[in-house]
Amino acid sequence: MKNIYLWLYERYAVPKLKDLNKAHTEITATFAERVGLSQTNRLRLDDLTGNMRLQWGAEVFALGADSVCA
């Protein structure tokens, strides 16, 4: 099952999420600069928020719902 999930994610979700990821990176970079985070903490912030967005974000939910309803 994990192989199927990974295959679907890489071939279906990743291409559709690329534009959203660019916006996410810009937003977190701006925030990190405003609060004066170190480079290490900027990377941690980007990883943490990116992981949360991909697991719980509305755009990922919508992609899943779209694939089920299609």
pTM of the predicted structure, to 2 decimals: 0.60
What pLDDT is stored for residue 11 in this prediction?
Answer: 80
Interior angle at CA 29, CA 54 and CA 58, nearest 5: 25
| Domain ranges, residue 33 | 20-69
How far from chain centre, in Å, is Cα 15?
Answer: 12
C-beta neighbour count of 54 within 10 angstroms: 17
What pLDDT is stored for residue 68 in this prediction?
Answer: 62
Rounded CA gap, 44 and 46, in Å?
Answer: 5
Domain assignment present for residue 27? The answer is yes
Q: If the chain, 70 residues long, is cut into consecutive pieces of 10 residues, what is the mean pLDDT of each piece?
A: 76 77 87 95 90 76 67
Q: How many domains does the chain have?
A: 1
Which residue type, as a one-letter code, is found at position 9? Answer: Y
Domain assignment present for residue 59? The answer is yes
